[in-house]
Structure 1
Amino acid sequence: MKRPLAASTLALGIALAAPAMAFDITSMSEAERDTFRQEVRSYLLENPEIIIEAVNTLEARQAEQAAMDDRTMVEVNAEALFNDGFSWEGGNPEGDVTLVEFLDYRCGYCRKAHEEVKELVSSDGNIRYIVKELPILGEESVTSSRFAIATKQIAGDEAYAAVYDTLMNFKGEVTETALRRIADTLDLEADPIIAQMQADEVSEVIEETRALAQRLQINGTPTFVMQDEMLRGYVPIDGMRQVVETLRENG
């Protein structure tokens, strides 16, 4: 005569204690399977911490896999990330750590991160900083990016840096009148910059950056790439400093 309880208890012990061993519930009778399910349910109700432990283990494995996937994507797209030939670069061009930021001027978290990123780059002194224009929050975002990119192409890096900083702190509606006012405030000639905004060269920068973001599975701003690490979303300055320190320790 079969003893379903004993069989299911043994199966439960094998399933929980030795998951690497082969275990086929389909080889059990229907009565044994029912009893097994009841035993599992009772065990988990009596030991709910096992569920939490299992979830934590799964999340850790998923995070590790995601980090590996991000590093692979960064490696494959390294040239476009770090040497595209058109993105603005600040900080120390010979820095031992390169920080890339994908940003949108209308993004609240990009604005929150802005001063902290400036402080990080300035206080560290050995970080190369690259800005990627990724306007994803509507027409005003696109207009802002076109103005910044056009400024770089017409007036150079120093003018871009001033416009970039101004747009990050600008709170009004982004209109041509507002952009002309910004240009005047920064002693820039507005007409050639405004004329350049719709040029193919400006569109190509935005399109290439969007394509890069798609390859990196970036769907929000800010997103940071620091060496081979990808940081998705706003990261406080202390967290950024910790990443820099870790990269240097492992470098």
Structure 2
Amino acid sequence: MKSTLPTTFATALMALVFGFLGAALWSYSGLADNRTRTFLLDNPDMLPQMAQAYQQQEAGKRLASIGNDVYAPFEGVILGNPQGGTVLVEFTDYNCPYCEASLADVDRLVADNPDLKVVVREWPIFEGSDVAARMALAAGMQGKYEAFHAAMFENGPVTPESVERAARAAGLDLDRARTDAASDAVTVELARNATLAQSLGFGGTPAWVTSDAAFEGAVGFEGLKSALEGSGPQTGG
């Protein structure tokens, strides 16, 4: 699911921009609202820049409010280096085409950075995705999350049959996996992920968290790399 800027947010942001700049320009230059409007029309690149800055600021506040919980992985549900010092958190859904499209970007990040730990948070928001998310967490409990994660995207969309194919491809003990998938531990983890996503203001998948940023969308390899480097997510491949 792509991240979009809701109309209500855009309207509020425009009011904020015009209000702030209007007040500032009036205070410092004696300019009235019509000149503020002209200034903004002459400098339209300011609006998306301010929108991005505002979103990053609000995301930073939300991230600070939830502490370190978002970085704590469920047992075995990690890609890359489990002991890595650079951490990327991904909220994902196996029925999300943008999550599937981002798989190669994450794989590339892991290949390029041996210190990268990717904490995956299963967040089944699409219809029917819950069964795959549960089996994915069960795979983590067997130390085979990475294999199931890749196989599930290869075998999607999610159906009971495709989940079983992915589980077999990953080499899971199916009897144990079915039991684990229905366990309280898995149920609690899925509820925790939904709560974290809500607390961070996420509306869709994929969604990402770094040490200092939280954002949504299939932003591509360079976008994720920029976010990990602390320069904020930049769109593009």
Normalising TM by the smaller chain, what interval? Answer: 0.7 to 0.9
Q: Per-residue deviation at 1:123?
A: 1.4
Q: Cα deviations across residues 130-177 of structure 1 (Å, max 9, x unaligned)?
A: 1000000112x1111011112223x2x2x12111111122235511x4
Q: Per-residue deviation at 1:200?
A: 1.6
Q: Are the equivalent residues in 2 in contact too, given 1:148–1:164 (CA < 8 A)?
A: yes
Confirm or deny that 1:19 pairs with 2:26.
yes
Q: Are the equivalent residues in 2 in contact too, given 1:87–1:131 (CA < 8 A)?
A: no
Quick check: 104-113 or 232-241, which moved more?
Answer: 232-241
Number of the residue aligned with 2:123: 134
Q: Per-residue deviation at 1:207?
A: 0.5
Equivalent AA in structure 1 for residue 26 of structure 2: P
Q: Are the equivalent residues in 1 in contact too, given 2:134–2:186 (CA < 8 A)?
A: yes
Equivalent AA in structure 2 for residue 229 of structure 1: A
Number of the residue aligned with 1:31: none
Number of the residue aligned with 2:194: 210
- Give the number of the structure whose alpha-carbon radius of gyration is greater: 1
Number of the residue aligned with 1:193: 177
Larger fraction in helix: 1
Q: Cα deviations across residues 28-60 of structure 1 (Å, max 9, x unaligned)?
A: xxxxxxxxx9xx5xx89xxx8634246544443
1:56-95 to 2 correspondences below 5 Å: 56-86=45-75, 88-95=77-84
1:82-121 to 2 correspondences below 5 Å: 82-86=71-75, 88-121=77-110
Number of the residue aligned with 1:52: 41
Q: Per-residue deviation at 1:85?
A: 4.9
Number of the residue aligned with 1:162: 147
Q: Per-residue deviation at 1:102?
A: 0.4
1:225-240 to 2 correspondences below 5 Å: 225-240=209-224
Q: Per-residue deviation at 1:126?
A: 2.0
Equivalent AA in structure 2 for residue 91 of structure 1: G
**Secondary structure at the counterpart of residue 229 of structure 2:** helix
Q: Residue 144 of structure 1 is aligned with which of 92, 109, 132? A: 132
Quick check: 231-240 or 184-193, which moved more?
Answer: 184-193
CA–CA distance in 1 between the matches of 2:116 and 2:51? 30
**Secondary structure at the counterpart of residue 20 of structure 1:** helix
Q: Per-residue deviation at 1:69?
A: 1.3
TM (normalized to structure 1)?
Answer: 0.72
Q: Are the equivalent residues in 2 in contact too, given 1:101–1:222 (CA < 8 A)?
A: yes
Unaligned ranges ≥5, structure 2: 1-21, 232-237
CA–CA distance in 2 between the matches of 1:199 and 1:239? 36
Identity of aligned residues (%): 22
CA–CA distance in 2 between the matches of 1:108 and 1:101? 14
Q: Are the equivalent residues in 2 in contact too, given 1:86–1:205 (CA < 8 A)?
A: no
Q: Are the equivalent residues in 2 in contact too, given 1:87–1:132 (CA < 8 A)?
A: no
Q: Cα deviations across residues 172-220 of structure 1 (Å, max 9, x unaligned)?
A: 5511x43333333333221221233222221111001001101001110
CA–CA distance in 1 between the matches of 2:182 and 2:152? 18
Q: Kindly tell me the number of residue pairs found equivalent between the two proteins.
A: 210
Number of the residue aligned with 2:229: 245
Number of the residue aligned with 1:5: none
**Secondary structure at the counterpart of residue 234 of structure 1:** coil
TM (normalized to structure 2)?
Answer: 0.76
Unaligned ranges ≥5, structure 1: 1-14, 26-36
Number of the residue aligned with 2:3: none
Change over 3 Å in CA distance of 1:198–1:210 after alignment to 2: same
